[in-house]
Structure 1
Amino acid sequence: MKTRRSFLKISAAGAVGAMALGPMACTSAAVDKKSFGVGLQLYTIRDAIANDLQGSLKKVSDLGYRNLEMASYADGKFYGMAPKEFRKLVEDLGMKIVSSHTSVEAEGITAASAQKLADAHAEIGVEFCVQPWIEEKDRNVETYKRMIADWNKVGEIMKNVGIQFGYHNHNFEFLPTDGIVPYYDVFMKEMDADLITMELDCYWATKAGQDPVEMFNKYPGRFRLLHFKDMSKEVAEPFYTVDKDDITAVGAGLIDYKRIYDARETAGLKYFFVEDDNQGNGFPFEGIQTSIDNLTGKILV
């Protein structure tokens, strides 16, 4: 009986311990990362996709990513696939395509080509289509103004099919030019806010000496999309060349993403995407795993 009583006491203590520790442990182990709605810009894994599209997307889904932003559109196809075909591939893996990076070159775009662009994106079902880049030769105030006039037209065509056009920055837009700062004095002023939203890349803005939260406060509601990537080196002064050697996983660097995320309502945020231009320096999936672990474990909670 003594042995049995001792056993029962030990069992009861174990049960109490399980009740005390179990829920915490289970909660940690059973977190549904997809419920956080973390997105990934597929440019981050471009080499892996080139070698194995379906296998790479499955890895992304298995890591807990929910939303995708594409980075491959050409002649009505995405990643070489018809819109509905690529959309089915993604949705069968438990993810959703919400945005696409597609360049409208400085030379301009015709109404017909803009309509084809819009129709293909409407067919795949994105909510946003984003201009991601400006060539170095076109980085001057005159060309910026001409491009933005074209983007406003594209934005109107996109709006007619239910898509919001957008612009994704780097750091060169903040370089003082001809006595002005183009991002604030040209882009924000001349873009039709109803037709073009800003996709703020928080890393590149920080490199240029900008504070994303201050930007949200100055232009509330203008930032419906954000790019999250971190920087490992402190910027002593604004840096305007596209040098990205210090990119690191979200939460592994110096940018306070919790502060940025906490200001999401002011920003007007709808979606954010993890991005690593350097593809994790050869380890893209390890990098995006660290990012989503940090986001769902300490930044978004």
Structure 2
Amino acid sequence: MTHEGSFSRRSMMRGAAGAALGLGAAVALGGTAQASTAVQAGEAASAATSWGKLRVPKNAISIQLYTLRSLLEQDTEGTLRELAAIGYRKVELAGTYDYTAAEFRGLLDKYGLSATSSHSGIDGDFTKTLEDAKTLGQQYLSVPYAEFETAREWRDFARQLDDAGEQARRVGIQFGYHNHAHEFQPVQGRQRPIDIITRMARSWNVHLELDLFWVIDAEVDPVPFVWKHFGRVKQFHVKDRAEDGTWANLGTGTVDFGALFRKTWHTGVREYVVEHDDPSDPLETALVGYRYLTDLRF
């Protein structure tokens, strides 16, 4: 297994010097890209010396509604109302719970929420998917999951992603892919699916929605990966990891999000999406996540 390192509170508390050194290694590129990344690395290293002065803007915080699916299935409007009361202004959709796109947009508008992104597949009527995304007011749309046994299948899928991304771009939607852990493991003993995707799907057609829990679960350090794909990671799924490897509410697990955000601050991430795959109390998870991100200084 090829690892890019691990990322936890113990491994990431290396200080500003470590951040600058790590970012310096990321600029071994060439030409204009080298100069541009060198400037960004310098800015990030400078920011790393100002611990505690940066924060995630409230208008960059979202929540994946999959976290609250059990409540949304019982009381869709009431759950959206509770999210708005917590302070959320953005949500990421995983379905509209038997509402049409226009009806769901009406509920969101009623409570001052915006569906800036969603998880949707590319099978079926993708044109209709894009039409609904426009109705909902989305900026982003990401494929939530894919898994194949061969590199050839992943290459075919990457081409499909690129085609869908071009179609989405033409109507003003930024199209992306959301990872799990298996994309960081080689298939057939050779290539990693994530590398196939980033090589074969063009960056202007397919961005990355990086699920930090799954990257860390794959024993990969998100920081050099984000810098390697500078500007392509538009969204973070911010999901904490308990000592036993299970999901945890933000701030209660092992991931040092402060260090991670500080070291990736200048790379183009636009949204920080709270998520928990199986919360015991979804609204408590939403509340803890929102408070954690709004209180965090790094």
Fold similarity call, TM over 0.5: yes
Q: Is the 8 A contact 1:173 1:183 kept in 2?
A: yes
Matched, 1:65 2:88: yes
1:47 matched to 2:70? The reply is yes
The equivalent position to 1:97 in structure 2, one of 104, 115, 118, is 115
Is 1:152 the counterpart of 2:170? The answer is no
- Return the alpha-carbon distance in structure 2 between the equivalents of residues 122 and 218 of structure 1: 31
Tell me the residue number matched to 1:284. 282
Query: Is the CA contact 1:167–1:197 (under 8 Å) kept in the aligned structure 2?
Result: yes
Q: Which residue in 1 is equivalent to 2:103?
A: 85
Residues 169-178 or 81-90, more deviating: 81-90
Question: Which residue of the partner structure matches residue 48 of structure 2?
Answer: none
Give the structure, 1 or 2, with the largest relative contact order (CA under 8 Å, sep 6 or more): 2
Q: Deviation at 1:38?
A: 1.6
The amino acid of 2:273's aligned partner reads F
User: Would you say the 8 A contact 2:84–2:112 is kept in 1?
Assistant: yes
1:26-65, CA deviations, whole angstroms, 9 ceiling, x for partnerless residues?
xxxxxxx994532100000001100000001111111111
Matches within 5 A, 1:289-300: 289-299=287-297
**What residue is the counterpart of 1:247 in the other structure?**
247
Partner-residue secondary structure (3-state), 2:269: coil
Task: Flag structure 2 segments of 5+ consecutive residues without an equivalent.
Answer: 1-55
Tell me how far apart the structure 1 counterparts of residues 118 and 249 of structure 2 sit (CA, whole Å).
22
The AA in structure 2 aligned to 1:103 is G
For residue 185 of structure 1, report the CA deviation from its aligned partner: 2.9
The residue type paired with residue 67 of structure 2 is T
Q: State the alpha-carbon separation in 2 of the partners of residues 66 and 49 from structure 1.
A: 17
Matched residue of 1:273: which SS? strand
Q: 1:163 maps to what in 2?
A: 173
> Which position in structure 2 is the counterpart of 1:29?
none
> Could you report, residue by residue, the CA deviation over 1:94-134 in whole angstroms, capped at 9, with x for unpaired residues?
211100100124xxx5xxx2222212211221001100012
Identify if the C-alpha distance between structure 1 residues 35 and 225 changes in structure 2 by more than 3 Å, giving closer, same or farther: closer
Q: What are the equivalent positions in structure 2 for 1:1-301 lying under 5 Å apart?
A: 35-72=58-95, 78-105=96-123, 113-135=125-147, 138-233=148-243, 246-278=246-278, 280=279, 282-299=280-297
**Structure 2 partner of 1:238:** none
Question: RMSD value over aligned CA atoms?
Answer: 1.9
- CA offset at residue 179 of structure 1? 3.3
TM-score normalized with structure 2 length: 0.77
Structure with higher Rg: it is 1
Aligned residue pairs: how many? Answer: 243
Instruction: Tell me the TM-score normalised to structure 1 length.
Output: 0.76
Deviates more, 1:42-51 or 1:115-124: 115-124
Query: Structure 1 pair 132/184, CA: closer, same or farther in 2 (3 Å)?
Result: closer
How far is the alpha carbon of 1:84 from its aligned partner?
A: 2.2
For residues 120 and 292 of structure 1, the distance between their equivalents in structure 2, rounded to whole angstroms, comes to: 27
Structure 2 residue identity aligned to 1:49:
L
Name stretches of at least 5 consecutive residues in structure 1 with no aligned partner. 1-32, 73-77, 235-244
Q: Measure the CA separation in 2 of the matches of 1:170 and 1:285.
A: 24
Shift of 1:197: 0.3
* Seq. identity, %: 28
